[in-house]
Each structure stands twice: as C-alpha cells, then as structure tokens.
Amino acid sequence: MSQTVEITDEDIRYAENILLPQGKTFDDERRKFICNLSTIDLQAVPGSGKTTALLAKLLILETKLPLSDGSGILVLSHTNAAVDEIKERIHQYCPKLFRYPHFIGTIQSFVNEFLAIPYYLFKLKKKPLRIDNEIYAEQIEFALSYNTKIALSKRSINYIDILSNSFISNKQILQHFWSNDEVTIPKIGSHTNTYKELATIKINLLKTGILSFGDCYALAQKYLSNYPIIHKIINKRFQYVFIDEMQDMDTHQYELIEKIFTENNDTNTIIQRIGDKNQSIYNSIKAESIWQDRGNVQRWIRKFEQLL
C-alpha cells in the first residue's frame, strides 16, 4: 500500500525560495498543480512555467523520501538538454532524487536501461556494446559492399534509414521496429542478394551488440509482450511518473509509456503528463493525433513572467 503524500504551504515556500526570484511566489493555478499528486495532464502554453512547477514538485517530494513502500520517482523528458536543465537546477538540493530507486532521464535512456538492455542480456547472455544511431550508421557503411552501396544509391534508397528503423524477424525479413510491418524496398525483393546482404548486416550488428535506437524499442516491445510481469515490476518500482515536454514524443514512445503505465489496470502508479499539444518541435505527426487527454486536465494559458 503506497503512502499518501501531502504538500503543504510550507513545502511550497521552500520550493519558491529555491526556484523563484526573491519575494516572488507561485499563483493559485500553479500551486494547485504543485499540490496535485493524482494522475493528471497539464496542458500549458510555452513560457507558462510548467517545468518550474514540476521542479517545485520534485523538490518537495524529495523531502518526503523515502516513500514507505520503497518505490521511486520516475522523471522523463525528450532531450538530454531538458534532462540536464533539471539536474542543473535542483540536483544540489535533492541528491536523493538522482539515486536508486529513482530515475531521471530521457525516454530513450529509460527504455534502454529498464527494457532493452535487460532483454538483450537475457537473450544473448551479454550486454550491448553501443546504443547509438551514428555509430550504427558507421557500422552499416563499413559492412555494406561497395557494389550494393552503388546499386542502392542509384535507386535513391536510404539503406541506413532502412536498417536503423527496422528489426529482423525469425524468417530474416526486415520489419518496422515498432509496427512490425514488413519493410518494402523498391525493386528489391526479399529473395535478392541485395536484400539478403542487408538482412545479414542487421543480424550481425544485433549479435555484435551494436544497436540503433529503434532496435531498443523493438527489444522493449518484445520484452513486454513475452513477459507481462515486467509491467508489474516497473509499476511497483515507480509510484510517481512525470513526463515533461510530452508533445515531443513520437508515436512509439507514447504507445510504450501507455502500455507500461496505463493499459495495466492493476497499478497504483501516478502518472502526470506535461506539455502543450500546440507546440511540437520534433514530431511530424501532430501531437493532437497521439496525445489523448486523461479525464483530469489542467490548462494554463498565461505566461509565467506575467504572474511574477
């Protein structure tokens, strides 16, 4: 049974003294979010102080640690820069939050650490050597024969994208790393030597331990599908989940988070998603099409500096 955490006016003053200019305070709207420790979406315009409010909540929660059931706090953002900002602003005040059982990082680093690497280790009895798209591309260039490169380039086929964003089936067919749809290469059937060479490179890189980011999502999906208990283990590990800059998630990232923390009804995990559907800097698909609101949504339309 997870403990009930309450946030007081004194707690908020503590966070204000750290995060805000001297003498400034959070308004009622932001205080309402900071005090809310239930599953909720926060839709807030750029500059409204949503990240600052999240940091205030984290500062306060750190003073309540450890949680009675030994569970942790999970904080995810889209970029390393965003994660670095969180660390720079609050690490000195809440070092416990950056140690086990808590985790603050990008969605990719979370997938790597808790899903892809454990599954890879379980299946191949060793850890991956590298998880990096640039290194993955270099290895493809090194392994692919000159004649195949020329043939694919003449057809304007981006073989690096194909291999980076695919996974290999048991029948040695290239499939999209998340949807599992077969990857079709124009004028190159799966029976051709060119296709077989690409598939062989994919297999060899996987066995060697050189993984693309897409590989990690494919491994994560297989881990969750083959071993449903992993859902429960992760939910038990984290009582609170905060996702900042939610609008910049790709479809597969959104679906993975939902699969872990929402589709499993047997969970007490609190998940709070923070962002702005109207502002998406990475995803070509509109955020509205993948980010479905929860029943409880708080909206901010005023910029934070207007309130100080």
- Of the pLDDT bands very low, low, confident and very high (cuts 50, 70, 90), residue 279 is low
Q: What pLDDT does residue 305 have?
A: 57
- Of the pLDDT bands very low, low, confident and very high (cuts 50, 70, 90), residue 190 is very high
**For residues 204 and 272, what is the distance between their CA atoms, to the nearest angstrom?**
40
> pLDDT above 90 covers what percent of the chain?
80
Read off the pLDDT of each residue in 157-167 and give the average, rounded to a whole number.
97
Q: Is the pTM of this model over 0.85?
A: yes
Q: How far is CA 55 from the centre of its chain?
A: 18
Q: Model confidence over 199-254: pLDDT tens digits?
A: 999 999 999 999 999 999 999 999 999 999 999 999 999 999 999 999 888 999 99
